């Protein structure tokens, strides 16, 4: 079954305008994450007020590039390798997915519909994201060449770029 890209995009567009938009969604994401998975709380240094903007910018980049694997895959590999520095473990990925899908469901149910198809679409998309990120987290050295070809250092950061989660330095930030 292929991913329903239109539904993914439509729901994300709705998330930006409904129920307080991405700020409300992002703040709720971290509030629930820390409540339900308190063991990950100490990993986060950046306050949720700032961190949620990065997360949502990154989700937005992923949704934008979902049909461009040549761009998306190196982006996700680099992000996973950066997350090693943040002490993220592979077992955290399903927790973050569960949390994101649950808060998205709450968010979109307030002013409109949230369907099983929407849930399945987001779960499928995030399962793929997790698989791609974990393959790099498991073996960062294997991806050094791919990262270099896409402007990333072996540690997943970009030289002189404080915003590595932005999809491409050429795109508007
Ligand atoms: C869909 C998967 C994920 C996305 C899109 C995502 C996105 C981001 C972004 C954009 C940043 C900003 C820094 C950077 O880009 O290097 C970040 C930082 C971080 N993420 Fe994630 N992340 C994901 C999964 C996870 C998971 C599974 C964990 C585990 C708890 C996690 C924990 C962290 C931590 C601890 C930071 C550093 C926060 C700080 O600066 O204090 N992330 N993430």
3-class DSSP state of 158: strand
pLDDT value of position 131: 98
Smallest CA-to-CA distance from 153 within 66, 71, 77 is with 77
Q: 122: Cβ below 6 Å to ligand 1? A: no
The distance from CA 76 to its chain's CA centroid, rounded to whole angstroms, is 9
Q: 165: Cβ below 6 Å to ligand 1? A: yes
Tell me which of 1.10.1040.10, 1.10.490.10, 2.60.40.650, 3.40.309.10 is the CATH number of domain 5-149.
Answer: 1.10.490.10
Where in the chain are the domains? 5-149
Per-residue pLDDT of the chain (173 residues; tens, 9 = 90+): 689 999 999 999 999 999 999 999 999 999 999 999 999 999 999 999 999 999 999 999 999 999 999 999 999 999 999 999 999 999 999 999 999 999 999 999 999 999 999 999 999 999 999 999 999 999 999 999 999 999 999 999 999 999 999 987 554 44
101 CA from centroid of ligand 1 (Å): 16
55 CA from centroid of ligand 1 (Å): 7
Instruction: Supply the DSSP symbol for 42.
Output: G
Query: Alpha carbon of 149 to those of 129, 134, 164, 167: distances in Å?
Result: 20, 20, 15, 15
Q: 88: Cβ below 6 Å to ligand 1? A: yes
Nearest CA to ligand 1 atom 32: 88
Q: 75: Cβ below 6 Å to ligand 1? A: no
Q: Are the C-beta atoms of residues 133 and 139 closer than 8 Å to each other?
A: no
16 CA from centroid of ligand 1 (Å): 20
pLDDT value of position 169: 54
Q: 40: Cβ below 6 Å to ligand 1? A: yes
15 CA from centroid of ligand 1 (Å): 20
Instruction: Supply the DSSP symbol for 13.
Output: H
pLDDT value of position 172: 43
**Planar angle of CA 54, 142, 72, nearest 5 degrees:** 40
Residues 6+ apart with CB under 8 A from 56: 22, 25, 26
Q: How far apart are CA 169 and CA 173, in angstroms?
A: 8
- In sign, the C-alpha dihedral spanning 71, 16, 158, 77 is negative
106-116 b/e with 16+ CB inside 10 Å = b?
ebbeeeeebee
3-class DSSP state of 126: helix
Per DSSP, what are the bridge partners of residue 161? 158
pLDDT value of position 18: 98
Q: How far apart are CA 24 and CA 96, in angstroms?
A: 17
pLDDT value of position 1: 63
Ligand 1 closest atom vs CA 57: 10
Ligand 1 closest atom vs CA 95: 27
Nearest CA to ligand 1 atom 7: 55
């Amino acid at each position: 079954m292929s991913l329903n890209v239109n539904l993914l995009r439509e729901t994300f567009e709705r998330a930006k305008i409904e129920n307080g938009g991405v700020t409300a969604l992002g703040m709720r994401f971290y509030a629930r994450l820390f409540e339900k998975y308190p063991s990950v709380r100490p990993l986060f240094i950046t306050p949720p007020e700032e961190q949620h903007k990065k997360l949502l910018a990154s989700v937005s980049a992923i949704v934008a590039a979902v049909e461009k694997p040549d761009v998306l895959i190196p982006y996700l590999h680099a992000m996973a390798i950066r997350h090693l520095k943040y002490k993220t473990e592979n077992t955290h990925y399903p927790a973050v997915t569960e949390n994101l899908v649950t808060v998205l469901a709450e968010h979109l149910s307030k002013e409109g519909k949230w369907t099983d198809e929407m849930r399945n679409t987001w779960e499928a998309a995030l399962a793929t994201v997790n698989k791609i990120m974990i393959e790099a987290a498991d073996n960062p050295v294997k991806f050094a060449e791919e990262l270099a070809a896409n402007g990333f250092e072996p540690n997943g950061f970009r030289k002189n770029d404080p915003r590595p989660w932005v999809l491409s330095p050429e795109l508007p930030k």
